Amino acid sequence: MIDYSVFNGKRAAYFTLGCKLNFAETSTLGETLMSYGVTKAKKGERADICIVNTCTVTAMADSKCRQAIHKIIKDHPGALVAVTGCYAQLQPQLISDIPGVNIVVGAQQRSDLIDQICYQLQGCPSSNSHQLPLTSIAREAALFFPSCSRGDRTRYFLKVQDGCNYFCTYCTIPMARGRSRNGSIASMVEQARQVVAQGGKEIVLTGVNIGDFGRTTKETFYDLIQALDTVEGIERYRISSIEPNLLTDEIIDFCSNSKRFMPHFHIPLQSGSDEVLRLMHRHYDTALFRHKVERIKQLMPNCFIGVDVMTGMRGETETYFEQAYEFIKSLDISQLHVFTYSERPGTKALEIPHVVSPQEKHIRTQRLLELSDQKTHDFYQHHIGQTARVLLEHTSRRTKPMNGFTENYIRVELPNQPELDNQIVEVKLEAFNQTQDALCAKLLSSY
Ligand code: SF4
């Protein structure tokens, strides 16, 4: 029997790198510790326990994780430092060799993290230490660690799925997070009800490959969204990144008729060249991708579509990049999330002979970022003069304007009115703000 009373009165600091999934998982770890009497260290306050949730999506992400760990050790002398997440899973020894790191646990053992911290605080000799990182082969990971981030944000991030079975040639995520798995629909509905009980209005469904939901419970993502749609009190759902081949016409049609699923999709394309998609071992071609975008726009003309693209993948010749650029330009989409390809140890892509130089990668990334700015600007411009419903987010600084998002994910700015925190209001969209990344709006009514 573990005695968690050692946690009572301790202060913890949390550091999360990477995706929304990591944020949701850190939030759940924080809630568990809070239930044992641990408070969150305020900014500038020295913590007794530091938890670092890492990411390994690129070489840059690895480097940022190492820098963050060094800074945390320096800023919180004497604290117990526990490192978890994808980078911890893939490079446990490297992290445990950093002086000052006490615990390293990988993806599968995340649920053991609290117990490991507890053992260390008790000074238990059998506890895990930095000489012995706790990781397992992620492909064997079978546990689903349920998570839902809450607290600081107006939006909640509900983890519905973890892991991936696709093994795209450039990606290490399946090695870090293991095979695709999920919680049950019943458990997701229950978590959505808890969000309502806490006053939450918007949930973003997150996962590594969320369209693959249901593999371990013999359910489907379509079943999941239908069930969540019935939860009274949730005003908005958004679906985070979903693979185009798993974004079925059935799902698109359902969202177009739902009052709760917002006209907003995020679809990874990665390359607009069929040859590069083949080298990446993606599960679709450009024709399928175009069909998805066109179907969405046909049913939801004002839908916001964000698209992930990668530049400088091995094998992306100049000709293939130009083809990709023209394809992306021709799509009726609202924003690009541009990633520069980074060589990852252990991936199949390293066998592809054609390598793109760093300078060329930079030029391609810049061109796509400019295209993205243009597309977002055009999308926003098209909405000026229209009315929209906006969910306003909490701002701690009352001197700053309030921000929120329309149903179709346009960022909106309003003069600060604290009583409108976490409220849905109707506004008229008027003009770009100074930095052009939001539309200024006039309040028409609140609900
Ligand atoms: S779908 Fe491909 S890119 Fe996405 S996590 Fe799986 S392997 Fe990685």
The string of DSSP letters for 75-124 reads HSTT-EEEEEEHHHHH-HHHHHTSTT--EEB-STTGGGHHHHHHHHHHT-
Cα angle at 14 between 105 and 122, to 5 degrees? Answer: 60
The answer for residues whose C-beta is within 8 angstroms of residue 138's C-beta and 6 or more apart is 89, 106, 107, 108, 163, 174, 175, 176, 177, 178
Indicate whether 361 pLDDT > 80.
Answer: yes
Ligand 1 pocket test, candidate residues 22, 86, 89, 208, most atoms within 8 A of CB? 208
Exposed, middle or buried by CB within 10 Å (0-12, 13-18, 19+), for 112? Answer: middle
pLDDT at 141 over 80: no
313 lines ligand 1 (CB under 6 A): no
Report the separation in Å between the CA atom of 179 and the middle of ligand 1, taken as the mean of its atom positions: 11
Pocket test for ligand 1, best of 164, 270, 337 (most atoms within 8 A of CB): 164
The predicted pLDDT at position 122 comes to: 83
With 0-12 / 13-18 / 19 or more C-beta atoms within 10 angstroms meaning exposed / middle / buried, residue 18 is: buried
- The reply to whether ligand 1 has any atom less than 6 angstroms from the CB of 173 is yes
Q: Which segment of 94-103, 114-123, 307-316 scores lowest on mean pLDDT?
A: 114-123
Least Cα distance to 328 among 309, 345, 304, 343 occurs for 309
Asked whether the beta carbons of 365 and 338 are under 8 A apart, the reply is yes
Q: Which two tokens stand for residue 188?
A: 């997701």
Ligand 1 closest atom vs CA 208? 5
- 444 CA distance to ligand 1 middle (Å): 43
Tell me the CA–centroid distance for residue 281 and ligand 1, in Å.
10
Q: Whose CA is nearest to atom 2 of ligand 1?
A: 168
Compute the mean pLDDT over every residue in the chain, rounded to the nearest whole number. 91
pLDDT tops 80 at residue 134: no
Q: Which CATH architecture has domain 140-365?
A: Alpha-Beta Horseshoe (3.80)
Is 21's C-beta closer than 6 angstroms to any atom of ligand 1?
Answer: no
pLDDT-derived band at 38 (thresholds 50, 70, 90) equals: very high
Q: 72 in helix, strand or coil?
A: helix
How many Å apart are CA 251 and CA 225, to the nearest integer? 8
Q: How far is CA 138 from CA 163, 172, 180, 296, 442, in A?
A: 9, 11, 11, 35, 50
Token pair recorded at residue 420: 């409108």
SS (H, E, C) 178-237: CCCEECCHHHHHHHHHHHHHCCCCEEEEECCCHHHCCCCCCCCHHHHHHHHCCCCCCCEE
Instruction: State the distance from the centre of ligand 1 to the C-alpha of 245, rounded, in angstroms.
Output: 13
Q: Which atom of ligand 1 is nearest to the CA of 281?
A: 2
Q: In the CATH scheme, what is the code of domain 4-136?
A: 3.40.50.12160
Task: Give the Cα separation of 41 and 246 in Å (integer).
Answer: 41
Q: Tell me if 209 CB under 6 Å of ligand 1.
A: yes
Say how far apart CA 315 and CA 278 lie, in whole Å: 10
Asked if residue 220 has its Cβ within 6 Å of ligand 1, the reply is: no
In this prediction, residue 178 carries a pLDDT of 87
Question: What distance in angstroms lies between residue 32's CA and the mean position of ligand 1's atoms?
Answer: 30
Our answer on whether the CB atom of 347 is closer than 6 Å to any ligand 1 atom is no
Q: Verify whether ligand 1 is closer than 6 Å to residue 174 (CB atom).
A: yes
Does the pLDDT at position 265 exceed 50? yes
CA 133, CA 93: separation in Å to the nearest integer? 7
pLDDT in tens, 103-120: 998 866 666 888 888 888
So what's the pLDDT on residue 124? 61
Residue 176 binned pLDDT confidence (cut-offs 50, 70, 90): confident
**Contact between residue 119 and residue 166 where contact means Cβ atoms under 8 Å apart:** no
For 391, the token pair is 């969910």
For domain 387-446, is the CATH number 3.40.630? no
pLDDT tens digits, residue range 365-385?
Answer: 999 999 999 999 999 999 999
Instruction: Note the pLDDT tens digit of each residue in 19-31.
Output: 888 888 898 899 8
Looking from the CA of residue 167, the nearest atom of ligand 1 is 7
Q: Please give the single-letter amino acid code of residue 289.
A: F
Does any ligand 1 atom lie closer than 6 A to the CB of residue 138?
A: no
User: Domain locations in the chain?
Assistant: 4-136, 140-365, 387-446
Residue 247 Cα to ligand 1 middle (Å): 15
Q: How far is the CA of 171 from the centre of ligand 1 (A)?
A: 6
The widest CA-to-CA distance across the chain, in whole angstroms, is: 67
Pairing of strands 49-54, 11-16: parallel
pTM for this entry: 0.89
Separation of CA 167 and ligand 1 centre (Å): 6
CA atoms within 13 A on the CB side of 59: 9
Residue 129 binned pLDDT confidence (cut-offs 50, 70, 90): very low
* Nearest atom (ligand 1) to Cα of 172: 8
Q: How many angstroms is it from 209 CA to the middle of ligand 1?
A: 7
Q: How far is CA 175 from CA 19, 64, 287, 369, 393, in A?
A: 16, 20, 30, 29, 36
